[in-house]
């Protein structure tokens, strides 16, 4: 399967926070095909433990998150339209005039669109329309009444997930899809498990994906207390700012070295380890200072302190139906995580901690 086909398959899966089963089932099936035995944590995170034969091998975790941003139905109106609350961060300006899938409790998939205000209705209005609030945006499945909505099994609490087909850009280098945040990480994890199938390492690796990252890094608290890693690597996708005239996160410039975000500072020992590993292995990297967060922010505060970082890539316009990202960046990040897990040993981990 080509890289694009793998990306298409994994980004078109629809799974939002708390309702990650479609993504978890996919991960479980692929993990088992590769000969691993995955386990889940109490909230639904899924992980494979690849035990080292080395005595007292340090435990190292590599974790994606499997949820994508979505919505939950908060009310059903008499006219048959729906209103929602957000699951994860949404810019109201990218919510309107899009296509979504609503999942009912019985597992029915219902097509829904968000109402856009046609220009005809704006004619004659005084001044520019105000910034929309997500709770006012109309989610419309074409139902004629509340009764009809209920007949189709739709209830408050059902989730709504973006629907968007992944395509290649004309130059064949980039992809347009939804949810590269963080199906990037999920694909990284599966490819890493494939690469490590027949390798024996001096560290025990716990590799998989957390739940509920988009609503506040919740799954990472749970999985790190269950699997007790000494060192933690999130694999996650961050916003590119190149098209906005900034230099944090440029497409095609390689994997991100995430030195700072509001919830995490990369410690000097980790910085040395990453820079050395990238140099020795010829990995293309770029510095990244972030305004957002990743599971590294939650993980590093667990179990008496867990040195953590994020092995990331950037994508333009994340948390929307149409993000753009570079396939070579994925390959760089993939080579980077391979080099990291095969370089790590007791001594290297001691150096990361004793900076």
User: What's the min distance (Å) between Cβ of 299 and Zn ion?
Assistant: 16
CB under 8 Å to 95, separation ≥6 — which residues?
114, 132, 134, 137
CB under 8 Å to 331, separation ≥6 — which residues?
3
Strand residue runs (E) in 88-138: 99-103, 109-114
CB closer to Zn ion out of 50 and 65: 65
Is residue 67 part of the contact set for Zn ion (CB under 5 A)? Answer: no
| Residue among 308, 5, 11 at smallest CA distance from 184 | 11
User: What's the min distance (Å) between Cβ of 5 and Zn ion?
Assistant: 24
CB closer to Zn ion out of 307 and 312: 312
CB closer to Zn ion out of 181 and 230: 181
Lookup: tokens for 77: 């109106």
Please state, as a whole number, how many other Cβ atoms lie within 10 Å of the Cβ of residue 151: 10
Strands 255-261 and 285-289: parallel
CB closer to Zn ion out of 134 and 267: 134
User: What's the min distance (Å) between Cβ of 298 and Zn ion?
Assistant: 14
Is residue 68 part of the contact set for Zn ion (CB under 5 A)? Answer: no
236 is an annotated ligand-binding site residue: yes
319 is an annotated ligand-binding site residue: yes
Q: What are phi and psi of 209, to 5 degrees?
A: -145, 135
> What gap in Å lies between CA 141 and CA 80, rounded to an integer?
8
> What gap in Å lies between CA 341 and CA 335, rounded to an integer?
10
* Active-site entry in 20, 68, 191, 213: 213
Is residue 191 part of the contact set for Zn ion (CB under 5 A)? Answer: no
DSSP at 132: P
Strands 82-87 and 70-76: antiparallel
User: What's the min distance (Å) between Cβ of 215 and Zn ion?
Assistant: 10
User: What's the min distance (Å) between Cβ of 209 and Zn ion?
Assistant: 13
Which stretch in 137-145, 175-183, 263-271, 343-351 sits in contact with Zn ion by CB under 5 A? 175-183
For 289, the 3-state DSSP assignment is strand
> What gap in Å lies between CA 93 and CA 134, rounded to an integer?
9
User: What's the min distance (Å) between Cβ of 213 and Zn ion?
Assistant: 7
Do residues 82 and 233 touch, judged by C-beta distance below 8 A?
Answer: no
Which stretch in 30-38, 106-114, 124-132, 180-188 sits in contact with Zn ion by CB under 5 A? 180-188
CB under 8 Å to 186, separation ≥6 — which residues?
10, 23, 27, 64, 66, 209
CB closer to Zn ion out of 20 and 181: 181
Residue nearest Zn ion, Cβ-based: 181
Is residue 181 part of the contact set for Zn ion (CB under 5 A)? Answer: yes
One character per residue 122-161, x = contact with Zn ion (rule: CB under 5 A): ----------------------------------------
In what helix (H) or strand (E) does residue 185 lie, and over which residues does it extend?
A: helix 180-196
260 forms beta bridges with 265, 289
CB closer to Zn ion out of 181 and 332: 181
65 is an annotated ligand-binding site residue: yes
Which stretch in 133-141, 174-182, 266-274, 295-303 sits in contact with Zn ion by CB under 5 A? 174-182
Kindly determine how many residues on this chain lie close enough to bind Zn ion according to the rule CB under 5 A: 1
Is residue 20 part of the contact set for Zn ion (CB under 5 A)? Answer: no
For 323, the 3-state DSSP assignment is strand
Q: Is 39 annotated as catalytic? A: no
Instruction: Give the residue numbers marked as catalytic.
Output: 213
Instruction: Give me the residues that bind Zn ion (CB under 5 A), please.
Output: 181
Residue list, annotated binding site for Zn(2+): 65, 181, 214, 236, 319
């Amino acid at each position: 399967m080509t890289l694009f086909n793998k990306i298409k398959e994994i980004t078109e899966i629809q799974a939002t926070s708390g309702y990650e089963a479609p993504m978890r089932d996919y991960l479980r099936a692929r993990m088992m095909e590769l000969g691993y035995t995955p386990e889940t944590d109490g909230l639904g995170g899924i992980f494979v433990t690849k035990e080292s034969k080395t005595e007292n091998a340090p435990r190292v975790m590599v974790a994606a998150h499997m949820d994508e941003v979505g919505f939950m139905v908060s009310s059903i109106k008499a006219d048959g339209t729906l209103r929602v609350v957000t699951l994860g961060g949404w810019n109201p300006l990218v919510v309107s005039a899009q296509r979504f899938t609503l999942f009912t409790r019985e597992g029915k998939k219902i097509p829904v669109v968000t109402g856009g205000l046609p220009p005809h209705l704006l004619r004659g209005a005084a001044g520019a329309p105000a910034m929309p609030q997500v709770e006012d945006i109309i989610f419309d499945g074409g139902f004629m009444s509340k009764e009809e909505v209920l007949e189709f099994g739709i209830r408050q609490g059902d989730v709504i997930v973006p629907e968007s087909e992944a395509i290649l850009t004309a130059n064949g280098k980039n992809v347009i899809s939804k949810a590269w945040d963080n199906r990037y990480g999920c694909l990284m994890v599966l490819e890493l498990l494939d690469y490590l199938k027949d390798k024996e390492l001096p560290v025990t690796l716990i590799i998989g994906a957390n739940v509920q990252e988009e609503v506040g890094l919740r799954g990472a608290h749970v999985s790190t207390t269950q699997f007790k890693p000494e060192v933690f690597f999130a694999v996650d996708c961050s916003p590119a700012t190149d098209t906005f005239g900034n230099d944090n996160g440029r497409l095609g410039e390689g994997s991100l070295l995430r030195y700072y975000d509001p919830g995490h500072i990369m410690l000097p020992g980790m910085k040395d380890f990453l820079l050395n590993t990238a140099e020795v292995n010829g990995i293309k990297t770029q510095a990244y200072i972030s305004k957002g967060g990743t599971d590294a922010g939650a993980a590093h505060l667990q179990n008496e302190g867990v040195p953590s970082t994020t092995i990331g890539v950037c994508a333009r316009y994340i948390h929307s139906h149409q993000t753009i990202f570079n396939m070579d960046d994925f390959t760089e990040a993939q080579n980077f995580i391979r080099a990291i897990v095969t370089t790590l040993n007791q001594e290297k981990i001691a150096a990361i901690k004793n900076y």
